Amino acid sequence: MSIAAIIVAAGKGERAGTDRPKQFERVAGKAVVAHAWERLVRHPRIDRVIIVIADGQQDPLAEALRGAPHEWVTGGAERQDSVLQGLETVAESEKVLIHDAARPFLPDAVIDRLIDALDTHYGAVPVLPVVDTLAAKGDVLGNVTDRASLVHVQTPQAFRTAEILAAHESWTGPAATDDAQIARAAGHDVALVEGDPALFKLTYKADFDRAEAMMAHQWQTRTGLGFDVHRLEAGEALWLCGVKLEHSHGLSGHSDADVALHALVDALLGTIAAGDIGAHFPPSDPQWKGAASSRFVEHARDLIRNAGGILDHVDLTLICEAPKIGPHRDRMQARVAELLQLSTGQVSIKATTTERLGMTGRGEGIAAQAIATIRIQETN
């Protein structure tokens, strides 16, 4: 029996107070929609997952899913319009789960209970008991409602596909907030299964804070250390921290020889135990001759992101007698922040000398060391 899942992710999420639609905001290092998508696509009983997005959201979705193969369709003006688009796409399936992207933490047990309920019912929804006192609202407190007869309704909601598709096609009422209403209006009974507190909906900023706090125990902090040194030679361009400086000598190396960025790349790779810069960009490979070291930084940054990590801070120290770093510090800080997609407050650039000792003290080269700090989810 084929089972499909639809994730409704076409909303604007304006009440969340975020800079972009809430389904693309990150929680615990991952986009909200990615949490729900991964839990559904990895479930052994689900054969197909469709994400319904608004027009023009294809690129944000691809970024949210970190380039993983996925199916999507464009939704409509109202939630039920988007669901209908999804249902028409999976019309050949026998069962379907319809889930809101704003509920990212979806337990396998809830999915199983919903699917099992469809053996004897046309539809099923996860619910939780109401534990708070409920009362009518007015200028003053109104009458209390019997909470024993009420439940909190969550998603995903599960249905036999043919019946819920027909119910959506025949719906003529006002905008429906969930699909169980539409199923009931078509004459179908909807079973109740046990929900889960983890399925709370992200609506306001406080909900995002709660989600981060809930996931905090799953995170560990890691640091990576990088060091590099390059020789100064006449006639070479001098690149430091992604900024080209005017100087009598430049750094010699297979790429643009940006010693600071090379140290940074090693630090970034170290946080996820991904080897060193030479393993990813071997100097024996001619394609990297003269290459901009910014490409190496972006590669390491993306590896951390793809591993589910969050880059929190980097600290770079340049070791040289000349040129003076102070006049260029702000530009360097801004460039590194740009490459890592961080704020400048998360990037530290410092400089020191070796009191004219050693090769850097004699002006023969420049050395750099870097430390990167990330958070990443613990793995068993």
- pLDDT (tens digit, 9 = 90+) per residue, 240-273? 999 999 898 989 888 899 999 999 999 999 999 9
What average pLDDT score do residues 93-106 get? 96
What average pLDDT score do residues 43-66 get? 93
Least confident of 113-117, 134-138, 195-199: 134-138
Contacts (Cβ under 8 Å, ≥6 apart) of 340: 297, 301, 311, 314, 346, 347
- Global pTM? 0.66
What average pLDDT score do residues 96-108 get? 95
| DSSP bridge partners of 373 | 223, 313
What average pLDDT score do residues 44-67 get? 92
**pLDDT at 16 exceeding the cut of 80:** no
Considering only residues 261 and 68, tell me which one the structure prediction assigns the higher pLDDT: 261
Q: What confidence category does residue 15 fall into, taking pLDDT thresholds of 50, 70 and 90?
A: low
Closest to 87 measured CA to CA, from 52, 117, 56: 52
What average pLDDT score do residues 147-169 get? 95
In the prediction, which pLDDT does 380 show? 43
For residue 326, with 0-12 CB atoms within 10 Å meaning exposed, 13-18 middle and 19 or more buried, which class applies? exposed
Least confident of 150-159, 171-180, 207-216: 207-216
Closest to 310 measured CA to CA, from 216, 202, 227: 216
In the prediction, which pLDDT does 305 show? 83
